[in-house]
Chains A and B, each alone.
Chain A
Amino acid sequence: QKEVEQNSGPLSVPEGAIASLNCTYSDRGSQSFFWYRQYSGKSPELIMFIYSNGDKEDGRFTAQLNKASQYVSLLIRDSQPSDSATYLCAVILSGGSYIPTFGRGTSLIVHP
């Protein structure tokens, strides 16, 4: 079992819809969770991070964390074509190294 798993997609949604991206992780002791966005040919850039169970909102983005079920999700409201990108989930696993481990990413396509 991989440490951080994401469906590679692509996930296709119409403009204005809610896009839901999911990530599961294997290490129950993981403490910190991140969502990065990566446009084609560019480097990853942080969207948001979350530590605690529940929801964290930032503009059109909401991160949801459920440690008991070991998943973290990202909701994008009012999706725009400019949101089309690969979304990478990263987790800091337990063990003390504090090194972010990335999933393979989910490709999101927002069509007009």
Chain B
Amino acid sequence: EAGVAQSPRYKIIEKRQSVAFWCNPISGHATLYWYQQILGQGPKLLIQFQNNGVVDDSQLPKDRFSAERLKGVDSTLKIQPAKLEDSAVYLCASPWGSSGANVLTFGAGSRLTVL
């Protein structure tokens, strides 16, 4: 298994600018999650995809955040315009193995700093 690839690893922008993060999950997994982890907190779900359809985006701030998963493979998360409180690590995750336990494998994360 190739794991979960994410880029960029680090990004520094000024408030009101835009940024995009990319994720490519373990090959063949239909489910993909984006989580936001603010320093000192646990990961918070932003959006879940099943293939290229959205399953849950109830916690995605839709006025500034958008996400898509073209062709059910890789995904892009965009923030426009960014706010100071968007400073966080954005984690992409995919279920691991066939145990049915919904164990997640996370990518290395994209650390965003908004100045």
Q: Give the interface residue-count category, chain A.
A: 20 to 34
Instruction: Tell me how many residues of B have a C-beta within 8 Å of chain A.
Output: 21
Select A99's contact among B41, B56, B108, beta carbons within 8 Å: B56
- The residue on A at minimum CB distance from B109 is A43
8 A-B residue pairs with Cβ-Cβ distance under 8 Å, sorted by A, are A32-B101, A32-B102, A34-B101, A88-B42, A92-B102, A97-B56, A99-B33, A104-B40
Chain A 92-112 interface mask (CB, 8 Å, partner B; 1/0) = 100001111111110000000
CB contacts (< 8 Å) of B41 on chain A: these are 104-105
A61 proximal to B (CB < 8 A): no
CB contacts (< 8 Å) of B33 on chain A: these are 99
Select B55's contact among A45, A90, A92, A97, beta carbons within 8 Å: A97
**Cβ-defined contact, A105 with B42, below 8 A:** yes
**Cβ-defined contact, B102 with A98, below 8 A:** yes
